[in-house]
Structure 1
């Protein structure tokens, strides 16, 4: 009110004419402008909401990683240069050259004496956690290595006392913490689909990571790690009771050496005599010219055993460690790491959902949301609807039925379409058509950004463990928006009527309209299973 009274005084003086425009009026104007530059009592912008988050902010240098090849290079550099400790939390470790090279590099660091703690989700990493596989057990044989599998079904023997949600809960965290000073987190698992260039394989994901460097980086990531690693229902992996059935040490080290040579520009590992003989036998067996000749399905073990897979990575050939020293030149910015434990935790804690809603509530201009799955819970929907009613522009970027890996989530997204278009008709919604989206980011008023593992669905909100990094930086937010906007230029505008597929089916929700008829049938059937919404 005081600002208003001063403005009225100035207006009155100006109307009275030049004689009354005194030094006093000029000073009043200056004072008023100063007051106007200060947030009024009761204002709640997004920076204030960031400060209200009940987590101590620390300062760290950051770098956004979008390119798939760079995402692999950065992980390789961080792990290669680790000196004392490595803590890793992973949802999925794939049975391919990336998964084995990753373990091979960890094995090499273990031999150097680095202390390693690794936890993986047992269901999503079943190839490596199964009895007799021996890959993780090979690494776990070192005294300085601890490996655990998160799977609430395997521990305690009984399942009768557990809810279905607890049985399906997963470790969805994805981060690497090195020497307590370097961290990388985001949507990526460890596997081919996350690190291949899109031109090499259309199945490759478009994802987002954030790399952090700073003396205070370790505390909040370490706390999040220990919350899941110390869970009593985890299964610690050791050598099998009768020893590892077969040693996997050489296979893992071969994978690490071969991919490092390739991505450093050294080409493929020279083909061995055993491999040449195997190829000759296989070609002869497949020709049918000599039925007495047979060949194994897989190439023999050797330094070149991964060549066939590696040579398809035609863009992964520019690894230069010094190129990733960028963090040394980045100005530190305020950071908060928010954690959410899984529903199986002894003490359930969710730092993410309510704080994202807090940032939504503080937004005044626009909110960018990039997420592969948009199945909003009532709490999230209500917050976005309130922001929309305040005049905040909402921009979504997600998957379409043409790009998704989950038709279930698309079916529920379609179920919501009518209400969404009625309640938030000015919202812009874009979706990939020819690329798979896996990025999970939010940008609030181009000031505060969130990068992490958190999906916009009930599983992330209620069931799985998750982790996100909140960054208070306009510069970082602008770079993130630039990446989202470049994705939008390659996407369908689901809120536009210009797409002929949407225009041709005006009575269908836009995401359904762009789908082929066979997919539409599946989507309609899945959409009827509304009672599974809180599980998808």
Structure 2
């Protein structure tokens, strides 16, 4: 009898496993996204007569500590509303400070909304305790995008990768950082992740010409979307008490901030003094479709690549050009004079699965670009997603150059038309290249550089990347 029951269980488990493979692997391999026939590129690089039409100014946030400080200060200075979306919140001192600022703002009467991915955050016990406190607070709401449904495995691939802060609909922050210690740590911190953000200020609230209005409308759309659900729908008295204790802990962290965070979060900083004027700013995002999405951000990047004549700078933590992505590219139309690319090295990458997809295509990428550089570090990694065209158009945000960001995930990017900002961004990117990166030669070795030493990856890491590269090639549409 026991043997028969076990056999039934094994058969059912096998059927469910097959159901998962079909839903998560086989269907995405051939599913065609529904295209938006009305889509048009945002920018025509041949038009140079647009002058000073944008009410928006932008500030580049590159330093890890500055970026962390900006987030905390934005929340602390909020008067009416705080809307936040991010892929993940990682347990640690910075997350406690972050929630301390959230509860402090909400206690002042500020309305706070937080959107998170529904799978990667589901099993974060620390966040679960915070969700109990949020549920009990009248001024804070927390929602999950595409939470885990065991009966709907076709939804598992479509992750929420947005990173966006909107404060009082007057200032916003767009970038590629999640909430966690490694994104905002001090210089020399082991495991640090280097990225970029952009602060956006507008002259007038709810101005139709401002990108802030586009962002606010998008956030509202996602907040009300059928794929979005409340993180907590009801709690017991015991959980409510646990939440209250967690809120008190967060507020204590805020009170003792100087002992936790190296920068003075209570000191007012005039971020606007470093702001650049813009000709126009656009907010880009992928459509909210299940399985494969219409790759709107990728199409924008392809359009700009085909229009550019002078230079293209591309920075991504990993670059995995799949067959499906390349179907959108007409290589004969890309005639730019110089194409420069920066990504991680085997030594620096923390994401072996995604990086192995790049490693399989590395030789092809070397042959396709003018200069390929790899970041050299063992204790830090490159996490920035930065794209610059003809020293005029800059894009910064959450979009990686791979199929997952192209077809599966939600993504957010800011497109900035400003020669001055692009020039500054290009200079900062070149600093990273000159101080921390090595050029890859045609044979795959590094060009000798007296300033930068090659970071030698561990043998096991090299072997894993090489082995995974052959496996990932078979499912690169999921990576």
Tell me the alpha carbon deviations over residues 290-339 of structure 1, each in whole angstroms, 9 at most, x when there is no partner. Answer: xxxxxxxxxxxxxxxxxxxx2xx5xx234464323425864354100011
Tell me the alpha carbon deviations over residues 94-131 of structure 1, each in whole angstroms, 9 at most, x when there is no partner. Answer: 11121122122111222222122111112222344789
Asked if residue 59 in structure 1 is aligned to residue 55 in structure 2, the reply is: yes
Asked if residue 226 in structure 1 is aligned to residue 226 in structure 2, the reply is: no
Moved more, 412-421 or 61-70: 412-421
Given the superposition, is the C-alpha separation of residues 92 and 515 from structure 1 closer, same or farther in structure 2, using an over 3 Å criterion?
same
Partner of 1:285: none
Partner of 1:38: none
Partner of 1:307: none
Asked if residue 452 in structure 1 is aligned to residue 397 in structure 2, the reply is: yes
**What secondary structure does 1:469 align onto?**
strand
- CA displacement at 1:343 relative to structure 2: 3.6
Distance of 2:274 and 2:430 partners within structure 1: 27
- CA displacement at 1:503 relative to structure 2: 8.4
Given the superposition, is the C-alpha separation of residues 217 and 325 from structure 1 closer, same or farther in structure 2, using an over 3 Å criterion?
same
Partner of 2:468: 526
Distance of 2:329 and 2:305 partners within structure 1: 7
- Does structure 2 retain, via aligned residues, the 8 Å contact 1:86–1:114? yes
Distance of 1:64 and 1:117 partners within structure 2: 25
Gapped regions of structure 1 (runs ≥ 5): 1-44, 269-309, 505-511
Given the superposition, is the C-alpha separation of residues 188 and 82 from structure 1 closer, same or farther in structure 2, using an over 3 Å criterion?
same
Partner of 1:428: 372
Given the superposition, is the C-alpha separation of residues 490 and 244 from structure 1 closer, same or farther in structure 2, using an over 3 Å criterion?
farther
- CA displacement at 1:514 relative to structure 2: 5.7
1:158 aligns with one of 151, 162, 165: 151
Q: What is the total number of aligned residue pairs between the two structures?
A: 421
For residues 56-455 of structure 1, what are the structure 2 equivalents within 5 Å? 58-128=54-124, 133-154=128-149, 158-159=151-152, 162-163=153-154, 166-199=155-188, 201-214=189-202, 215=204, 216-238=210-232, 240-245=234-239, 246-259=241-254, 261-263=256-258, 268=259, 310=260, 316-319=262-265, 321-326=267-272, 330-344=276-290, 350-378=295-323, 381=326, 386=331, 390-424=335-369, 426-434=370-378, 435-455=380-400
Tell me the alpha carbon deviations over residues 428-470 of structure 1, each in whole angstroms, 9 at most, x when there is no partner. Answer: 3333333201110100011000011000000000001001000
**What secondary structure does 1:398 align onto?**
strand
Larger Rg: 1
Given the superposition, is the C-alpha separation of residues 524 and 101 from structure 1 closer, same or farther in structure 2, using an over 3 Å criterion?
same
TM-score where L is the length of structure 2: 0.79
Gapped regions of structure 2 (runs ≥ 5): 1-40, 205-209, 449-453
- Does structure 1 retain, via aligned residues, the 8 Å contact 2:376–2:436? yes
Given the superposition, is the C-alpha separation of residues 114 and 378 from structure 1 closer, same or farther in structure 2, using an over 3 Å criterion?
same
Tell me the alpha carbon deviations over residues 116-166 of structure 1, each in whole angstroms, 9 at most, x when there is no partner. Answer: 2111112222344789x3312211223333211123433xx632xx53xx3
- Does structure 2 retain, via aligned residues, the 8 Å contact 1:95–1:127? no
Distance of 1:355 and 1:231 partners within structure 2: 24
- Does structure 1 retain, via aligned residues, the 8 Å contact 2:306–2:334? no
Given the superposition, is the C-alpha separation of residues 322 and 79 from structure 1 closer, same or farther in structure 2, using an over 3 Å criterion?
same
Distance of 1:260 and 1:217 partners within structure 2: 34
Distance of 1:400 and 1:513 partners within structure 2: 8
Given the superposition, is the C-alpha separation of residues 223 and 344 from structure 1 closer, same or farther in structure 2, using an over 3 Å criterion?
farther
Given the superposition, is the C-alpha separation of residues 260 and 398 from structure 1 closer, same or farther in structure 2, using an over 3 Å criterion?
farther
**What secondary structure does 1:336 align onto?**
strand
Partner of 2:5: none
Distance of 1:50 and 1:125 partners within structure 2: 44
TM-score where L is the length of structure 1: 0.71
Q: How big is the alpha-carbon RMSD for the aligned residues of Structure 1 and Structure 2?
A: 3.2
Given the superposition, is the C-alpha separation of residues 503 and 77 from structure 1 closer, same or farther in structure 2, using an over 3 Å criterion?
closer
Distance of 1:188 and 1:47 partners within structure 2: 26
Distance of 1:321 and 1:332 partners within structure 2: 28
